[in-house]
Chain A
């Protein structure tokens, strides 16, 4: 029962912590249109959660009046997710992506580690005072498929 789903969604929301769950659940609903493993579904949820949390915490420094855009594109078994903010930007992307680098002692600095572990590609584009765009790509595995029920 192979189904090929091509679909696209765009979400825009204010940079509130509550919307991190909204984004991850919406993307989970989108990818669940395609057959995928529960494991892939969980990994995608964590990666989206990290990227959107970064936009809220770092991009907009916890100010809830910023705009976060999440675009999810499903091209058959390929999933592309873009998380875009118009916040402060990242001065040194390489440093920001280092494991255990965090500007806040109550945070782990593991956000990018999870994104990179769980997705096939992670691309970060950023300009100081303009904003940041994170692109996450994952090819959904078709082995050992346990169909996720959403």
Chain B
């Protein structure tokens, strides 16, 4: 169970494996925020392919980071969502806030297209 962070092209990529609940929410929120600041990344990609469980505490972190990234004129995209997690996303309204796609490749494509549109 871990959070792995790396950054490239103005973008922080957060890979979350294991359960994403109350305890992890507090840790991951702090780590993601610190890394967004340190790497001066504007965009955030969230990889949930290895996330085994999420509840409203994990969703709170996602929504909070979304607001933060948006306030900084960046984009947030989620990828690798299992059907189980997608159901939670549907109920929470996250799907109408930000793109949710299948792979990292698809996420980069969306990011680049949106960046081009804005330019």
Residues of A within 8 A of B (CB): 17-18, 20-21, 24, 39, 42, 45-46, 49-50, 53, 56-57, 104-111, 113-114, 117
Q: Tell whether, in the assembled complex, residue A21 and residue B19 are in contact, meaning their CB atoms are under 8 Å apart.
A: yes
* Interface presence of B23 (CB below 8 A): yes
A sample of 21 cross-chain residue pairs with beta-carbon separation below 8 angstroms, ordered by A number, consists of: A18-B23, A20-B21, A20-B22, A21-B21, A39-B84, A46-B88, A49-B21, A49-B22, A49-B57, A50-B55, A57-B22, A106-B60, A107-B56, A107-B60, A108-B59, A110-B56, A113-B92, A114-B55, A114-B56, A114-B91, A117-B91
Number of B residues, CB within 8 Å of A = 19
Q: Tell whether, in the assembled complex, residue B60 and residue A108 are in contact, meaning their CB atoms are under 8 Å apart.
A: yes
Q: Tell whether, in the assembled complex, residue B56 and residue A106 are in contact, meaning their CB atoms are under 8 Å apart.
A: no
* Interface presence of B108 (CB below 8 A): no
Q: Tell whether, in the assembled complex, residue B21 and residue A110 are in contact, meaning their CB atoms are under 8 Å apart.
A: no
* Interface of A: prevailing SS: helix
Residues of B within 8 A of A (CB): 19, 21-23, 26, 29, 53, 55-57, 59-61, 63-64, 84, 88, 91-92
Nearest residue (CB) in B for A107 is: B60
Cα separation A56 to B60 with both chains bound (whole Å): 16
Q: Tell whether, in the assembled complex, residue A17 and residue B56 are in contact, meaning their CB atoms are under 8 Å apart.
A: no
Q: Tell whether, in the assembled complex, residue A111 and residue B56 are in contact, meaning their CB atoms are under 8 Å apart.
A: yes
Smallest CB-CB A-B distances: 4 pairs: A17-B23, A49-B55, A110-B56, A17-B22
Nearest residue (CB) in A for B62 is: A108
Q: Tell whether, in the assembled complex, residue A106 and residue B88 are in contact, meaning their CB atoms are under 8 Å apart.
A: no
Q: Tell whether, in the assembled complex, residue A46 and residue B29 are in contact, meaning their CB atoms are under 8 Å apart.
A: no
A residues in contact with B88, CB < 8 Å: 46, 114
Given contacts A49-B55, A53-B55, A110-B59, contact A17 B92 (CB under 8 A): no
Given contacts A49-B55, A50-B55, A114-B55, contact A106 B22 (CB under 8 A): no
Sample of 7 further A-B pairs with CB below 8 A, known A20-B21, A108-B59: A17-B21, A20-B22, A49-B21, A50-B55, A111-B55, A113-B92, A117-B91
